[in-house]
């Protein structure tokens, strides 16, 4: 149960001893790929297929093998893969559909089964939004329309889509990779704008939603979204009715790393009914997170029950992939 709730990054371009350890000993539920893991299509396919086969040989469920392939500014796959200019260049549903179909085909070809896309953040025209170069734009209706088209295009072609970054970071100008932004907006502001694309994503059965590392004092005075029961549990699960995968953004980012120890972050993630903790770099935090999940489940019947529910959602998403166990 503990390992399935972890998605981890690693070093190397092949199924090495580190990756085998994460898969066999910690029984991680997923891995995420970065440029450091990619040399060329053949190597990438060998890496993904061998990791998936190794998980099966160990008797574990299939792996989520994820990547950030938004196009434009954030695209881990470069040539000879198709290089798209990014979300701001999309103006019609046909653009979004074409991106999703080509991307899904190329991800399937190399054994990747999850795309951390689309970005559903709305970038207002009146500020220098941190998401200006990654967003579909400033209009909630347009972002909803194009985002939903990407989700359908990916998922109808065998790739799980993870929409991000709930409940919306387009109004921020500070990069959460470096520190913790605060966005003091009212729930009414979010409902009128930022939440609309995520509601559209839920309506078209998006597989997962990624939480932002942003503090919204109007929603939770203490915790950022990625650690917040008020946002992940009450708003996303209860109010919006989302029963798919809820995933943190990378816990190695400065917004979390500079302010919260990993064991405390994991405690909050479990309280908030968040399914998957994302840790994108090799290091002791992966082991600490694994052990903290085990410890909390052993000490709390509520955490254990919620953990079982999380694993059921994870396994249900893996069943959508049709990978033989």
The whole-number mean pLDDT for each consecutive block of 10 residues of the chain, a chain of 325 residues, reads 95 96 96 97 98 96 97 95 95 96 98 98 92 95 98 98 96 80 91 97 98 95 96 97 97 92 95 96 94 89 86 96 71
Domain count, the chain: 1
Is 215 one of the catalytic residues?
Answer: no
Q: What is the pLDDT of residue 325?
A: 53
Is 249 one of the catalytic residues?
Answer: yes
Q: What is the CATH number of the domain that holds 248?
A: 3.20.20.300
Q: What is the pLDDT of residue 93?
A: 96
Q: How many of the other CB atoms lie within 10 Å of CB of 272? A: 25
Beta-bridge mates of residue 115: 67, 161
Residue of 194, 249, 275, 285 marked active site: 249
Quote the pTM value: 0.96
Q: What is the pLDDT of residue 301?
A: 82
Q: What is the pLDDT of residue 302?
A: 77
Q: How many of the other CB atoms lie within 10 Å of CB of 205? A: 12
Query: How far is the C-alpha of 38 from the C-alpha of 182, rounded, in Å?
Result: 34
Q: What is the pLDDT of residue 324?
A: 59
- Domain hosting 241: range is 3-321
Residue of 60, 138, 177, 259 marked active site: 177
Which of these, 203, 28, 210, 197, lies nearest to 116 by C-alpha position?
210
């Amino acid at each position: 149960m503990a390992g399935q709730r972890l998605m981890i990054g690693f070093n190397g371009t092949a199924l090495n001893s580190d990756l085998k350890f994460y898969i066999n000993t910690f029984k991680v539920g997923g891995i995420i790929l970065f440029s450091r893991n990619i040399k060329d299509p053949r190597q990438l396919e060998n890496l993904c297929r061998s990791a998936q086969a190794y998980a099966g040989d160990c008797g574990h469920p299939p792996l989520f093998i994820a990547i950030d392939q938004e196009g434009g500014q954030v695209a881990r796959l470069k040539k000879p893969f198709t290089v798209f200019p990014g979300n701001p260049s999309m103006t019609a549903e046909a653009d979004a559909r074409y991106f999703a179909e080509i991307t899904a085909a190329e991800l399937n070809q190399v054994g990747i089964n999850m795309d951390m896309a689309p970005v559903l953040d709305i970038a207002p025209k009146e500020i220098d939004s941190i998401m200006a170069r990654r967003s579909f734009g400033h209009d909630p209706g347009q972002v909803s329309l194009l985002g939903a088209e990407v989700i359908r295009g990916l998922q109808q072609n065998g790739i799980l889509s993870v929409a991000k970054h709930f409940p919306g970071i387009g109004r921020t100008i500070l990069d959460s990779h470096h520190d913790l932004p605060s966005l003091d907006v009212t729930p009414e502001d979010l409902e009128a704008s930022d939440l609309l694309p995520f509601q559209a994503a839920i309506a078209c059965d998006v597989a997962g939603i990624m939480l932002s590392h942003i503090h919204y004092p109007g929603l939770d005075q203490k915790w950022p979204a990625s650690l917040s029961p008020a946002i992940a549990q009450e708003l996303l699960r209860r109010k919006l009715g989302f029963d798919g995968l809820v995933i943190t953004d990378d816990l190695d980012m400065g917004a979390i790393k500079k302010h919260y120890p990993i064991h405390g972050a994991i405690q909050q993630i479990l309280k908030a009914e968040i399914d998957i903790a994302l840790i994108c770099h090799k290091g002791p935090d992966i082991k600490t997170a694994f052990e903290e999940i085990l410890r909390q489940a052993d000490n709390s019947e509520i955490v254990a029950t919620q953990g079982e529910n999380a694993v059921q959602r994870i396994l249900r998403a893996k069943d959508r992939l049709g990978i033989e166990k």
